[in-house]
Amino acid sequence: MSGGTELSDALTTALALRAKVKRLRSLRGAPEGGRLIVQPDPVAFAQQVLGFEPWDGQVHIARALTQLNRVAVRSGQKTGKSRALAWIGLWWAATRPNARAIMTSSSDDQVRTILWPEVRQLHAAAARRGYKLGDIHDSHRTGLKTLDGRWLYGFATDVADNMGGKSSSNLLFIVDEASGVPDAIWEAIKGNMAGGGKILCVANPLRPSGWFYDLFKERRGQWALQRLSSLEAADYQQRVCRVPGLASYEAIQEEWAGYESTAAYACRVLGEFPLQGEDSVISVAIVDAALSRWATAPEEGRLELGVDVARDGGDDSVVAPVIGNKALEMRVVHGYDSHQVAGLTMTVLRELRGRFKTEYPVRVKVDAIGAGAGVYDCLRREPRSEVEAVAVSVSESPTSQPTAGPGYALLRDQLWFAGREWLVGGGALPADRKLEAELAAVRFGYTASGKLKVESKIELKKRIRRSPDRADALLLAIYQPPRRVAGVWSAAESLFD
């Protein structure tokens, strides 16, 4: 009886092993260009072919695409969305006859530097496991191709006509950073789907307007609408397992502590559209565009510094350098007295003068109210061949007014709207979550006489529970003060320009 049971168990094990080998052989591709893989389940494809375990948020996206033809996902950052898009693109191209998967985004650079490297990494992982998914190229535009005509490639364009003419019996459009894709391009993408196919759109929800926003606002029934939160990713890391590159509670706390009520936190962490209305001075979308320009922005033009000095124990002192249209990394300190802040300012100034071979004195604009007055006094004693110290009192009258529309009530109002113009006009910002949150947090209204009035620092501090020290320093660096020439105030540049 015992022997019969053992024989039965051995037979069961052998049959199970045979079935597993047969299934793996059906998945395994041929070296010559990649054969079609029979695996309708994208999650099983990720596990068996690509060798990685998707986390819950990624699984929900992939499974939604198997159930509906239209999927839109608003996502926080560090949720693994780029890897999910690469995996889904490979799964589509590997498992469907005559498949064409097209990856696009708000910019071609996003496809080239973010999405396509993810595709290549997963393709290489599959090859190490013995799966030949097709011939892959360095260029995302050439993409991945198989001998039987299946194709995965990527490109982006701002010309709607260039997006037309994409057709296949098995077509998948993957749209990354969808919130920044113009409406005209979106209409062209939809035009390609007239003959069938699927669309997957994913984005940080930066803009509370446009076609991507309308999908969630109108709750269209034919769409699977999802949200990926960085907090959910962090919870998975803590509760299930650690995943490289995924958000963690420690990282979120480090980057966003004190900014939980801001519009930037809403879209960057929660995956929610920011509640920014017409009373916002600077939108998250404007800040995001400035962040995207930073890596390629030229470091040319006049070097200038803005210094915001801490007014109480809870604030930071910030030295913000700007060269031309590019803001450089800030120096942020806590607990420094006036002499120490002035010393830090001179250290930064001399480092940058050497880096950029600047011969003229660097103009340093200091918020000279309260503790800032001591810093200004220290700086104006430094050699004039190195530094031109300028005291700025933001509570005074504006030094200039807009050419049209309502005027500014105070110089502080002028600085904030000038900062907006600088960003819209091509200003570039380094990655700094706190700076981003501060810039996008400020609101404005009107005085009884109809002038523009930015909310006070006290009001803002109550709302976001922090002082906007980084934003204030940047706005000082950007500010172009008038100079007294022959007894007349003018808006001319420094005499050293």
**22-77 pLDDT tens trace:** 444 444 443 345 678 878 899 999 999 999 999 999 999 999 999 999 999 999 99
Write the pLDDT tens digit of every residue in 302-329. 999 999 998 777 789 999 999 999 999 9
Q: Which stretch of 142-146, 162-166, 337-341, 404-408 has the lowest confidence by average pLDDT?
A: 162-166
What is the pLDDT averaged over residues 399-416? 90
**C-alpha to C-alpha distance for 393 and 415, rounded to whole angstroms:** 11
**C-alpha to C-alpha distance for 238 and 420, rounded to whole angstroms:** 39
Confidence band of 18 (pLDDT split at 50, 70, 90)? low
What is the pLDDT averaged over residues 135-164? 90
Q: What one-letter code names the amino acid at 465?
A: R
**C-alpha to C-alpha distance for 399 and 397, rounded to whole angstroms:** 7
For residue 266, pLDDT beyond 70: yes
Confidence band of 491 (pLDDT split at 50, 70, 90)? very low
CA-based torsion, 178, 111, 263, 240: positive or negative: positive
Q: What pLDDT shows up at residue 166?
A: 80
pTM over 0.75: no
Q: Contact, 201 vs 72, CB < 8 A?
A: yes
Confidence band of 19 (pLDDT split at 50, 70, 90)? low
As a whole number, the mean pLDDT across the chain is: 87
The Cα-based distances of 243 to 42, 202, 246, 318 in angstroms read 19, 20, 6, 35
Strands 198-203 and 170-175: parallel
Nearest by Cα to 431 from 264, 209, 182, 206: 264
Q: What pLDDT shows up at residue 100?
A: 95
Confidence band of 492 (pLDDT split at 50, 70, 90)? very low
Distance, CA of 384 to chain centre:
40
Write the pLDDT tens digit of every residue in 364-399. 999 988 889 999 999 999 999 999 999 999 999 999
For residue 437, pLDDT beyond 80: yes
Q: Contact, 100 vs 170, CB < 8 A?
A: yes
Between CA 347 and CA 355, with CA 353 as vertex, the angle to 5 degrees is: 100
Q: Where are the alpha helices (DSSP H) in 357-399?
A: 372-379
Rg for the chain, CA atoms, rounded: 28
Pair of tokens at residue 315 = 């604030």
Domains by residue range for the chain, with CATH: 23-239 (3.40.50.300), 284-490 (3.30.420.240)
Q: What pLDDT shows up at residue 12?
A: 59
Sole residue written with tokens 């810039």? 439
Write the pLDDT tens digit of every residue in 221-259. 689 999 999 999 999 999 999 988 899 999 999 888 888
Confidence band of 494 (pLDDT split at 50, 70, 90)? very low
Nearest by Cα to 160 from 137, 179, 182: 182
What is the pLDDT averaged over residues 289-293? 91
Q: What pLDDT shows up at residue 192?
A: 86
Between CA 182 and CA 189, with CA 184 as vertex, the angle to 5 degrees is: 95
Strands 331-333 and 326-327: unpaired
Sole residue written with tokens 């920044």? 180
Strands 331-333 and 317-323: antiparallel
**C-alpha to C-alpha distance for 276 and 279, rounded to whole angstroms:** 7
Q: Contact, 32 vs 147, CB < 8 A?
A: yes
What is the pLDDT averaged over residues 164-171? 82
* Residue partners of 117: CB distance under 8 A and separation at least 6: none
For residue 202, pLDDT beyond 90: yes
Q: What pLDDT shows up at residue 84?
A: 97
Q: What pLDDT shows up at residue 487?
A: 33
Q: Contact, 410 vs 423, CB < 8 A?
A: no
- For residue 229, give the 3-state DSSP assignment: coil
